[in-house]
């Protein structure tokens, strides 16, 4: 099983990770972080392949990929 963890406080809401995931598992949340950025949300964990494309695309190193 693979999944990602998004650090909401590092995320600046650029949306690049939503484009990077070919499975469209990452969306944007309606909830802002402490500095007001609307952050990315891992929407469908059960479908994650652990490919790491979302993490590689993130300019703020806000995504950690876990492979178990």
What gap in Å lies between CA 33 and CA 66, rounded to an integer? Answer: 23
15 binds ligand SF4 (CB under 6 A): yes
Examine residue 38 and tell whether it contacts ligand SF4 (CB under 6 A): no
CB of 22 to ligand SF4, least distance (A): 7
Contact yes or no for 20/57 (Cβ under 8 A): yes
Site for ligand SF4 (CB under 6 A): how many residues?
28
List 40's β-bridge partners, or say none.
Answer: 28
Is residue 41 within the footprint of ligand SF4 (CB under 6 A)?
no
Which residues of the shown chain bind ligand SF4 in the complex (CB under 6 A)?
4, 6, 11-17, 20-21, 23, 25-26, 40, 48-54, 57-58, 60, 62-63, 65
């Amino acid at each position: 099983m693979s999944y990602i963890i998004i650090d909401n406080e590092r995320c600046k809401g650029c949306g690049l990770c939503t484009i990077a995931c070919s499975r469209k598992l990452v969306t944007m949340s309606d909830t802002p972080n402490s500095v007001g950025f609307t952050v990315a949300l891992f929407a469908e964990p059960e479908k994650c392949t652990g490919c790491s494309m979302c993490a590689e695309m993130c300019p703020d190193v806000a995504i950690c990929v876990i492979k178990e």
